[in-house]
Amino acid sequence: MMKRPGSLLIAAAALMAVPGSVFCNQQSAQSKKPVPSMTSDDVIADRPVRTAEPASPEAAKTGELSKPEDTSGKSSTEETSWRQAVKKARTQAEALQRTAEDTELRVTELRNQLSASGQGTGDRNQTMAELAASGDTLKRQKAEARDAANELNKLVEEGRQKGFREEEGPASVSKGGEPNEDYYRTKFAELNQALQDADRRVQLYQNRVNELNQRISGNSRTGDNFFIGQLQQERDEAQHSLDEAREAYQKAQADINALKDQARAAGLPPGIFR
């Protein structure tokens, strides 16, 4: 059976088209490049490496980096020495301040004695001599207390810039879970001292207010309004300090009562506060 000429022509055209399509597909496959994939390692590698930030503006200026925290919970030798220095400086500053306040109260007492009636010449002379000596002593003690307070503040600021913290007192509960009597005794002693300090300052600032009121009244007829204004400003400052001292006294008393309630709830005997 003979094939038709038209069929032969169609088959030949199809065979001739095959190499061309195959060649085009090969060229297209070669021209395509694989799309790169991003792994987790690539993402991490692209992140900028961060260095430790300076602990303070002073450290930033010098390029000093902040020290890593001690995961063991132990303080460094430098911090331990700083804590001891702060404790000593605080004790000294508070002691000098109390001494100066006691002397000021004594000065006020001597002034009241000097103005009291019924004293002979010898008594008045003795009181005046003691008053003069106490006045000189008070000036020196105030200067010493001021210098000690400045030294304490300097140490505290140095420690703050380095991230140091003062030593904490005993915990209220021991490691075994029992109430710690040392905590209650230490806290009670601190609060009692705060109560005594506040009581002394209430007397001190009340004396200052009374004295300034007398001076304002005595100068009211002089017409020196500038001087009277200065006295009034000093009186207002003394009154403000008196109000603060009264609040401190009330707070210390309330804290003592709360501490006793806490100890009672913990099952401790009242005798630990004696």
127-174 per-position pLDDT tens digit:
999 999 999 999 999 999 999 999 999 999 999 999 999 988 899 999
Distance CA 85, CA 103 (A): 27
**Is pTM, for the whole model, over 0.85?**
no
C-alpha–C-alpha distance, residues 250 and 210, integer Å? 22
The span from the CA of 274 to the CA of 272, in Å, is 6
Calculate helix-pair angle for 77-115, 181-218, nearest 10 degrees. Answer: 40
Residue 131 near residue 112 (C-beta atoms within 8 A): no
Distance CA 131, CA 208 (A): 17
Q: Which amino acid is at 160?
A: R
Alpha helices in 32-120 (DSSP H): 40-46, 57-62, 77-115
Which DSSP category does 119 fall into? -
Torsion sign across C-alpha atoms 51, 56, 62, 68: negative
Please list, in sequence order, all residues whose beta carbon lies within 8 angstroms of the beta carbon of residue 264, skipping any fewer than 6 positions away: 270
- Cβ burial, residue 141 (10 Å; 0-12/13-18/19+): buried
Give the per-residue pLDDT at 244.
98
pLDDT for the residue 168:
87
Cα–Cα distance measured from residue 260 to residue 185, given in angstroms and rounded to the nearest whole number: 10
- Amino acid letter, 43: V
Other beta carbons within 10 angstroms of residue 99's beta carbon come to 16
CB 83 within 8 A of CB 74: no
3-state SS class at 120: coil
pLDDT at 256: 97
- Per-10-residue mean pLDDT for the chain, 274 residues long? 43 42 41 38 35 38 40 76 96 98 97 87 93 97 98 97 92 92 95 98 98 93 89 97 98 97 94 88
